[in-house]
Structure formats: C-alpha cells, structure tokens
Amino acid sequence: MSFISTIPESGSSGEVKKMYDSEKATRGYVPNFAKIFCHRPKVIGAWRNLIRSIIENMDTRRYELVTLAAAGKLHSSYCMLAHGSVLQEKFYSPEQLNEIIKNPDSSLLTPIEKAIMRFAEQIVSDATSITQKDIDMLRNLGLKDEEIFEIVTVATARCFFSKTLDALGAEPDKIYLDLDETLRNNLTVGRAGPV
C-alpha cells in the first residue's frame, strides 16, 4: 500500500477520522493518497486550501490539462490516472484523451492548450530555463499575467503533491481499474503499483 505505515479507517480518530470522513463523503471511499497524510492531516488541509486559492478563477479543463502535463513529466502514475479520469469524465472520450497523451500537438487541443501544457512540462523539467521569451509567447497567445501565474503555480504545486506520493509509495486507487484499458496504460508511467 505504501512505504510507511498508515492508520486504517477503522482505527482512525480525531483529525485523521475527520479527514477520512471528508474524503469518503466526497469520493465514496478513502483514497490511498489521503492515507499517506494520516501522520499530518493538517498538511492535506493546507494543500487543498492552496489548490483552491490557485484555481478559484481558473477554467477546469485548463487546470486538468496543465496538471496532466506536469504529472506526466513527473512520471506520476497516481496523478496521471486521477486527473486523466477527470478529463475523460468531463471533456474527452477515452480515444480522444489517448490521442492527446500520445500527441501533444493534437488538433483536439487549442493553440493555448498546447502551449500551456508544454510550458507546464518545461516548469517541471527545468524552471530555470524559462525566460522572458517564454512568458511573452504565452502573452502573445492572449494569456494575461494572472493566468500565467495560475499555470505556473498549478505545475509547481503538482511537484509537491506527486513527489510526496511517489516518495512514500502511494499506490493508485483500484477505482482506476474501471478506466478503458488502453487509456489506463497510457496514463500509467513510472512506478504504478497494482493498477
């Protein structure tokens, strides 16, 4: 399940039980990533507040595409599966999402979407390589500075979350077995666990 011990749902109390109950109310189950945070449930609360504050004015599809690109560059199967699931549920068929994953220049993406996904990958790969030219290119596509800020912080926040899950061995949840097999395989990179 993970490299560290976790508190089972049946043995939880206090802040841990509150966190588990919240996840169960939202998702119908306690995801493996939440169990990783059982030792410091305030951290997951702070994470949620951070993400909410970053994306409160951001388009959902844009958030999910930036997250997918960042998670892919991070080789995070858990985050790829989770956010790929949202994209497939709300925006794309499995076939369309497979095309996007395999072809970052897919005609299914707008020029802005292609650019922000490449930008997210660049942030994850080497943020120090970003120059004024990269920012100006996004501006020339019509993005405002606050939108560029959102893209940057979505990608950098994903670094924290994905690396935390991977470093502690969080396995993707079994719910992702319900995804189309080809899509699931395309979303699975790096160390994926039992999915």
For the segment 139-165, what is each residue's pLDDT rounded down to a tens digit? 999 999 999 999 999 999 999 999 999
Position 192 pLDDT exceeds 60: no
pLDDT score at 1:
74
Task: Read off the pLDDT of each residue in 48-61 and give the average, rounded to a whole number.
Answer: 96
Average pLDDT over the chain, rounded to an integer: 94
Q: Give the pLDDT confidence of 57-105 residue by residue, as tens digits.
A: 999 999 999 999 999 999 999 999 999 999 999 999 999 999 999 998 9
Position 189 pLDDT exceeds 80: no
Position 51 pLDDT exceeds 90: yes
CA distance 39 to 5: 9
CA dihedral 119, 195, 16, 74 (to 10 degrees): -20
CA distance 45 to 151: 21
pLDDT band at 193 (very low <50, low <70, confident <90, very high): very low
Rounded to two decimals, what is the model's pTM? 0.93
Task: Read off the pLDDT of each residue in 8-33 and give the average, rounded to a whole number.
Answer: 95
CA distance 100 to 175: 22
Burial 165-195 (b: 16+ CB within 10 A, else e): bbebebbbbeebeebeeebbebbbbeebbeb
pLDDT score at 195:
44
